[in-house]
Structure 1
């Protein structure tokens, strides 16, 4: 009987290392979370109030981009641009939406012929962007975040 108790005691003392629980620090949990975090995607894209009824994330993005494009093109059409040569160009707009929903044009690529024919194209695009309605910023994990967009804008002037 003593041998049985002695055997159980030896087994229980040597097997304790299998029941050790590793302590995980908050820094290691944060580091692991940051490694798996997708920094290039948002939970909700920026939107306008009329895009909020859409459920799918890509549909909201599409609504947002289409409205900006239509708004700029409508603004340019109202300006009655006069050119000496036909202009057919695709302008690439780079803009940013802040955490507060403020839009700013950071850069745009335009052909030199278009610049020659429409020298004030930059100010026209700036003014059209300034006339946009309230923008609701993108969110990531419940926090409002900055987003950057690249938007092609096709211009035809005859």
Structure 2
């Protein structure tokens, strides 16, 4: 009986260390893979459902950018912004597309001139993004990921 208990005890102790080392090795492999992953690129850009999902990555990017820029142009053409001191001004809009394909403004960089003369600009941009067509998130290794984009918006006064 003592031998059976001793034998079971040895199996129990060795099996715990077996699982421990297997788990440790798995974590090491994951850590190694994460260190070598390019976190600055995606496998598939976010895409509007009006774009073709089966095209190349570059064509997806082009369709995404063209759809977004065209939407911004349509929205901004509906509003009359007035800059009195300059012919043109560039504003940078930074936005995030989350893993569900929802888009939100992260920040808008503009100078004091734009802030003073066009206080409604932020609201127009935010509303414009809310009115975008349905969007699918970017993918990295088949998993939806958050992506951040920066778009320069040129405001012309003439």
TM-score relative to the length of structure 2 = 0.76
Distance 1:27 1:53, change over 3 A: closer
Provide the aligned length of Structure 1 versus Structure 2.
136
Q: Identify the residue that residue 106 of structure 1 maps to in structure 2.
A: 106
Distance 1:128 1:67, change over 3 A: same
Q: Identify the residue that residue 17 of structure 1 maps to in structure 2.
A: none
Q: Identify the residue that residue 58 of structure 1 maps to in structure 2.
A: 58
- Residue 42 (structure 1) shift: 0.9
- Residue 89 (structure 1) shift: 1.1
The alignment partner of 2:50 has SS state of helix
Distance 1:87 1:116, change over 3 A: farther
- Mean Cα deviation higher: 85-94 or 141-150: 85-94
Please provide the CA RMSD for this pair: 2.0
TM-score relative to the length of structure 1 = 0.76
Distance 1:102 1:87, change over 3 A: farther
1:74 aligns with 2:74: yes
Distance 1:84 1:36, change over 3 A: closer
**1:87–1:114 Cα contact (<8 Å) kept:** no
Distance 1:90 1:84, change over 3 A: closer
**1:99–1:138 Cα contact (<8 Å) kept:** yes
The alignment partner of 1:79 has SS state of coil
